[in-house]
A and B are shown apart, each in its own frame.
Chain A
Amino acid sequence: MLHNSGYNSCDKRIPTFNSEKDRLLMFRNPLLLVAIGLTFGVAVWGIVDTQGLAQIAAEEVRILFRSRGWFVMLTATVLLLTCAWLALSRYGQVRLGKDGERPEFSTMSWLSMMFAAGMGVGLLFYGAAEPISHYLFINQHAPEMPAHEAAGAALFITHFHWGLHAWAIYGLTGLVIAYFSFRKGTPQLISAPIKKTFGEKKWVAVIGWLVDLLSIYAIAIGLAGSVAMGVFQVQDGLAALFSWDSVGLSVTLTVFGVLVMAYILPLTVDLGKGMALLSNTALLISVGLMVYLLLVGPTYFLMNGIVEGIGAYLTKAIPQGFRTYTFFEEAVEGWFSAWTLNYMVWWLAWSPFVGVFIARISKGRTIREFIAGVLLAPTAFSIFWFGIFGGLGFYQGAAGKLDPSVIETNINQTTFLLLDTLPLSALTTVATIAAAFLFIVTSVVSAAYVLAMFSTGGDQNPSVKVKLVWGGLLGFLGLAMILSNSVSAVRQIIALSAGPFVFIVVLLMVCLLKSLKQENL
């Protein structure tokens, strides 16, 4: 999934490990050791006292969301508006590379790689579950709202969570990394733009070190959460396929064990294009599934819903970015924290990982091209995806074929119960399980690579040992989250890890804007 393209020059202040002798010294790297110690500690805590970790995470996240939920929303909106301004301003013509440099990938393969980055196990998991969940909540708390309005509102909120605001967080992080690495020759580290902009000062070195540590921690926790959700998805897919009434811990651990074995191999050998092939296969299966649902489901109904969804999104997305539901009852505030705020910090947790990936494939693009591609293409895709999965969920629910209360009893099963209402359900269930599995394997392999790169000072070819250490730690963390056996606990642990990143992304934005002022345009 990630390509070893880009710059070769490294900041002299950051240690890199190029020779064999240096590689032996890498475990004396304080950042690597502290990062490993921190993530390992959380993993052990999660395994030994799963409920304790989940409870503390829930309490801390409640305090953080209550006290600075407004800042999270404001940051997401400001990042989106900044992206729009950069694309439309004279800075839009600045190239992410040397002047005159051409893009490394064709626009089509660039966009398809972008889909692959944005597509993930989350879309498979929440495709039908999220719109139905919002619909049920609206029905419960605003029973006077007509069903058609509630369905439209539920789809709009889902589009909002997966749309421009999410991609502005990814996009701006990716833009800062791409701009500084390809134009200023810095390593692809989150701290590099800060060091380049503010120079060699003691406080800059300390902040830079902390930023790298927090990035590593946020990526590790975010990815482990995805591993847990992927395992939940696969185990419930197997239950649907073989008509099991419930799934025991043994099945969960077996799925987890197979997953770990599947990603350990690619970490030990350089599969090169093999990883891209796996990622593209998962993407093709998912897109095939989406097209199948569109054609087999009530096509006219789904397309009507999608067009309405586009209209609602265009007119309401920006104002929604300022909504904090502060004058509503406590239940609505709780729903806002559990969904909207949680999503925003989830994107923040993933932003260093996805940002580096987007940056690496965007060399030679102008800022305008970059923002248009990163923000618009995945958002349009998400609107189609949720329009089809969510729309079909509403349709089958209204026809009495799908019981919406599954969201409350076992949210993991929603996608499979929806597929069960259509022909060839065994085949589509197997396809969903396969896609979820491949998405997790490719994500963990890519994440282990990025974590190894970040923790060794931006080394473009981190050793197998370091990648294996991170692969193992991601497995441990994933196991801790799996043992919590709760999607909401997983989301809260991720939210807690991403808390500081809301500040880091703003600091990165300041670095970019400050540096752009010096461009000779």
Chain B
Amino acid sequence: MFIKKRIKQIIVVFLASILIACEDFVEVDAPDYKIIRDDVFSSEETAKSAMTGIYNELFRSSFSNGTQYSVTVLGALSGNLLKNIRETNLTRMEFQQHEITPENTSNLFLWTSAYNMIYMTNAFLEGLQSSEKISSEVKNQLQGEAKFVRAFTYFYLVNLYGDVPLVLTTDYEQNELASRTYSEEIYTQIILDLEDAIEVLTSENQDIRTKVNRYTAMALLARVHLYNQQWQKAEELSSQVISNNSYILLEELNDVFLANSQEAIWQISPVGSGAATTHTNEGNFFIIDPVFSFLASVKLDENFIENFSEEDLRLSTWISYNESLNAYFPFKYKIWNSNEQPSTEYSMVLRLAEQFLIRAEARLMQDNFTGAIEDINTIRNRAGLAPLSNTDNLETEVLLDELMEQRSKEIFTEWGHRWLDLKRTGRYEHIWENNPLWEETDLRYPIPADERIKNPNLTQNPGY
């Protein structure tokens, strides 16, 4: 085909210049609101910010935030501690009645938020690992904090669901079809993470209870060993925490749940919400305001209240009563809602009283009755109760009953303790033996249906 020479030239020059310009033109820089992962871990400052991010997100993450989707509330409903005031909220009723459907949205939120937290810690650990610009001192400390949070999250997953997928990397191609791992293996990983954490974490930093230090990890590991009936290890670790002077069993029960309370081993600050409100979600959900009592959702179970003796200070300070609804409600947190800065109450995760209870149980199971009674009395004493009498004649079973009673009265509506205690000790049996809706398989929450749609390798727990 003949084209005039000049036109040919024009076209060639035109095309060449556009092609050259194209290549560079489509390069764009990262936007102002994003930091590339490698950059996050290229300085200590930003790496620390990423850990702060994890702490912040614990207050927004469903499973850990103390709202009606959290372990605290759902566990207390399952554990016969809380009752729904009205029966119309089916999502919460299913937990109360042990009739959870795999489609239950609260159950889904619980699961997805926990795994999102695990992703965050995995991403953080991977980032730290590959970074060469962070001193080993800072690296160790941050690694310890993240491993603690990962172990903490798996602890609840394995206790609520049984076998769960063990995800330790951020590689979604590898993880998306992961099947469930035996709970023993999950526990092995939890213990590994916590032992690593204890080794590298600083024993300082104890004034700020929202940050994880060596003793925080010990406290959780003590609980893990207790759950696995490693009595000696549980006793050793709880003893180490108890003997640390910065943790004090507060005389005044009203002060226990305050921000950075000396009894606290680990707390989550409401600052993480990023919102104007500064109250804890537990306070907001549990407290029945006298003016707005019609807004209340849950109350404490009457049988639970009846078990308290009148002089028990925990009944008078940690439980309150609303006349119009004839309802008792948890009053550990005193603030229903607040915009005041800074927050005066933090959400409690681990506290010293539980360590006494852990040690008491560990000692008891090792037949150290004196030691066990000593610890139980520490808790009774603080609650304004007389020490156990005739201690010489007490049998293990009776003492164990007393210990479980103290556990339920001391750490009620905190992090599903009651539900997990009933499960691990087999004590659920006489509670529900006459309940036609109860089945043994209700001990495990169902794997969310949504999750099984997307991952065909996830099996369902029996009974669902």
The answer to whether A binds B is no
Chain B contact residues, CB within 8 Å of chain A: none
